């Protein structure tokens, strides 16, 4: 049975921090992901073990109903000093639909496949259910957003005033294909849908140069800062995080950069990433207004999470 509707979402204020890129995993969500991606054996193992993680670290996988998860996530945000967060879904999920209905502080982006002829109808249902946008995975699902099959989806998304987060670049997903990793493929989509915002995750995860070229032409292209950004270790020439922020600020301006940590649900919240990035913004000498745009205001505006 769906959870009862939540009271209206809280409204953020200057000084609050919005984490614009986090994940939510539970036993029920993993079971839904197994149904969507039966080839992903690690999802099956996670449900079997009731644990999730990577690189040898595995933590308990929560087994909570959506209402209990909303309370649990609120406490998690409080512990990290985060006011609101945006969960990026990996697959369509009834659990997340029920979670959206009760959460006042955590918004969710849906995950349809834009190539699917049924994606337009799914998008309409997800927007009606309260999802605040869409997360797309071209490098993981091995397709191009410029594929003509995706056009009806993007046309309807623009009509619905839906914004996107997109994963391009390197990925830990063993089924991903780097032939689909370059954000330049977004060019005709962003050009032809100027009313939609396209947020490229993780500073492009190794494709920052492509983003800067793309953003020069398309003013609706943005980035988020989420994750460890360890793609910098293999980027040539070598970059530091302050240099990445400097180049993004020069190419996009503070109005098109969103803060994020890429925190999951099982491992401890990535408070160190939040601390590191906030310190970089301070050391770069940004104004209070510019820091607020990156840490809160842009996410609120693009994804309407205070509505």
Quote the domain boundaries for residue 188: 18-303
- pLDDT tens per residue across span 253-294: 999 999 999 999 888 999 999 999 999 999 999 999 999 999
Flag whether 4 is in a domain. Answer: no
Contacts of 203 (CB under 8 A, 6+ apart): 211, 223, 224, 225, 229, 231, 244, 248
| Phi, psi (deg, nearest 5) at residue 291 | -65, -40
Supply 110's token pair.
Answer: 């849906």
Within a domain: residue 203? yes
| 11 found inside a domain | no
pLDDT tens digits, one per residue of 68-109: 999 999 999 999 999 999 999 999 999 999 999 999 999 999
Give the integer Cα–Cα distance in Å for 58 and 21: 21
Distance CA 212, CA 217 (A): 9
In the predicted structure, residue 8 carries a pLDDT above the cut 80: no
13 falls within a domain: no
Q: Is a pLDDT exceeding 60 seen at residue 183?
A: yes
**Residue 124, domain CATH:** 3.20.20.140
Specify the pLDDT at position 46.
Answer: 83
Please choose, from the candidates 258, 304, 251, 306, the residue with its C-alpha nearest in 3D space to the C-alpha of residue 281. 258
Judged against a pLDDT cut of 70, whether residue 5 lies above it is answered with: no
What's the domain count of the chain?
A: 1
Q: What average pLDDT score do residues 204-226 get?
A: 97
Residue 172: inside a domain: yes
Please report the pLDDT score of residue 54 as a whole number.
Answer: 72
Instruction: Find out whether the peptide bond into 127 is cis, omega within 30 degrees of 0.
Output: no
User: Residue 139 corresponds to which tokens in the numbers above?
Assistant: 């490098």
Q: Is the pLDDT of residue 59 over 90?
A: no
For 146, the token pair is 């410029």
> Quick check: 130 and 100 in contact, CB under 8 A?
yes
- pLDDT tens-digit series, residues 218-251: 999 999 999 999 999 989 989 999 999 999 999 9
Any residues with CB less than 8 A from the CB of 96 and at least 6 apart, and which? 24, 29, 66, 87, 89, 108, 110, 131
pLDDT of the residue at 1: 47
In this structure, is residue 2 part of a structural domain? no
CA separation for the pair 10, 271 (Å, rounded):
22
Question: Does residue 197 fall inside a structural domain?
Answer: yes
Q: Is 77 part of any domain?
A: yes
Q: What confidence score (pLDDT) does residue 56 get?
A: 67
- What pLDDT band is residue 37 in, cutting at 50, 70 and 90? confident
């Amino acid at each position: 049975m769906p959870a009862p509707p939540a009271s209206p979402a809280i409204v953020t204020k200057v000084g609050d921090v919005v984490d614009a890129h986090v994940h939510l995993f539970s036993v029920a969500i993993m079971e839904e992901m197994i149904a969507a991606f039966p080839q992903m054996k690690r999802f099956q193992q996670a449900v079997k073990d009731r644990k999730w993680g990577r690189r040898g670290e595995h933590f308990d996988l929560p087994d909570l109903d959506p209402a209990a998860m909303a309370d649990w996530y609120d406490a998690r945000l409080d512990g990290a000093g985060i006011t609101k967060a945006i969960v990026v879904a990996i697959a369509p999920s009834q659990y997340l639909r029920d979670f959206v209905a009760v959460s006042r502080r955590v918004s969710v982006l849906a995950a349809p496949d834009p190539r699917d002829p049924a994606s337009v109808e799914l998008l309409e249902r997800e927007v009606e259910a309260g999802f605040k946008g869409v997360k797309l995975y071209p490098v993981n699902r091995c397709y191009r957003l410029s594929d003509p099959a995706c056009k009806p989806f993007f046309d309807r998304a623009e009509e619905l005033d839906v914004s996107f987060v997109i994963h391009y670049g390197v990925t830990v997903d063993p089924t991903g294909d780097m032939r689909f990793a370059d954000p330049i493929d977004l060019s005709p989509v962003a050009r032809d849908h100027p009313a939609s915002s396209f947020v490229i995750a993780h500073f492009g995860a190794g494709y920052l140069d492509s983003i800067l070229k793309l953003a020069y032409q398309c003013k609706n292209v943005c980035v988020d800062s989420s994750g460890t950004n360890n793609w910098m270790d293999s980027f040539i020439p070598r970059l530091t995080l302050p240099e990445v922020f400097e180049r993004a600020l020069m190419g996009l301006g503070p109005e098109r950069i969103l803060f994020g940590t890429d925190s999951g649900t099982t491992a401890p919240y990535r408070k160190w990433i939040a601390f590191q990035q906030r310190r970089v913004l301070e050391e770069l000498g940004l104004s209070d207004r510019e820091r607020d745009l990156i840490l809160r205001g842009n996410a609120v505006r693009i994804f309407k999470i205070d509505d």
